[in-house]
Structure 1
């Protein structure tokens, strides 16, 4: 494992990276605004679970395959892009969902929220490549059991993302309960989120293969 200063630097860098808005943050905030803090928290845990898939895959070498195999990267890239585009189109044409002051939309399907959060993360090969590029910087070249160290650092990175994801969910839910203009604008928030998801999907689709 890295020494304490290196480990603290790893944790701080991870927090800064998790604070950066992207498809995961957008998914958490959208669900919390529309359906309350529970939906936002569940969305966060779906993303959290999906991230573990990438950590485990990277530890056993799948991310290395994605980084060197144009075919493997392209297949997962197009699956992920198609999923993000599908999410965006759904939001663009979604009907306005009624909110209440006690905690969100009526009859929200939390399992569906979790599953979609999981898939949003798992089907993005850029997450796998991120772990492959970021984590090894904190592993000494002469370290034994590099795969286990990689796995441990990946778990630390993922666990440290929980408070940030929860904070996004709580803040979005707080805004939905207390800021009436946010509630009146939810119909347009879905549209804006849909445009962003479509943008993320197109950007992923246009990502160059790592071997090019």
Structure 2
């Protein structure tokens, strides 16, 4: 495979993966809608940091533990599921009671809280760890050498592409939400929908098998 074909395949696959909706993206959108563009971007940085943890673990071979140990996988899975459900319930409660959602204001949240929650959403998703362990080795070129460094470099590229995709969604969501804030019922409905999706994703994660 020549270099051009290699990179086209890698980046097109990475783009498709990052566009696919999942807990990370829905969490980022929920933060953007409730708290504004800046909170959404900080949440995205937190998610990227969590993904970097998984990439580093894949490069060091630690992700194999989650792939082979039913106990380790189950612990991370159930903690992650509980955390997603918790965030979803928080979203449902806030959108139903905070009148600022109908105005130009946004719910105040610290940058650290948004960053930390985004990081935990990704770290506590065992499928993310297994994904990097399964996906990245397909693009390793043994003739170059330095397989752990290749894994780390490719993983960082996937994360950077994720930022591009997520920031695009954040800007679009912030613009749309700015218009919707004039209508309290629509704004609350949108927030409740995202909260319900987070809860559903948490329940789904709880039933994920180690495959």
TM beyond 0.5: yes
Q: Note the C-alpha offset of 1:105.
A: 1.0
1:194 aligns with 2:182: no
C-alpha distance in structure 2 between counterparts of 1:149 and 1:13, whole Å: 17
> Match of 1:154?
155
**Richer in helix (by share):** 2
Q: Provide the aligned length of Structure 1 versus Structure 2.
A: 207
Change (3 A) 1:49 1:80: same
C-alpha distance in structure 2 between counterparts of 1:73 and 1:143, whole Å: 32
C-alpha distance in structure 2 between counterparts of 1:186 and 1:170, whole Å: 17
Change (3 A) 1:187 1:178: closer
TM-score by length of 2: 0.90
> Match of 1:111?
112
> Match of 1:13?
13
Pairs within 5 Å for 1:151-190: 151-179=152-180, 184-190=185-191
Q: Note the C-alpha offset of 1:173.
A: 0.5
When the two chains are superposed, the root-mean-square deviation of aligned CA atoms in Å is 1.9
> Match of 2:75?
75
C-alpha distance in structure 2 between counterparts of 1:196 and 1:20, whole Å: 14
Change (3 A) 1:151 1:115: same
C-alpha distance in structure 2 between counterparts of 1:49 and 1:74, whole Å: 22
1:204 aligns with 2:210: no
C-alpha distance in structure 1 between counterparts of 2:90 and 2:4, whole Å: 46
TM-score by length of 1: 0.89
> Match of 1:135?
136
Alignment gaps of 5+ in structure 1: none
Change (3 A) 1:105 1:76: same
Change (3 A) 1:180 1:62: same
Q: Note the C-alpha offset of 1:71.
A: 1.4
Change (3 A) 1:22 1:181: farther
C-alpha distance in structure 2 between counterparts of 1:136 and 1:88, whole Å: 34
> Match of 1:96?
98
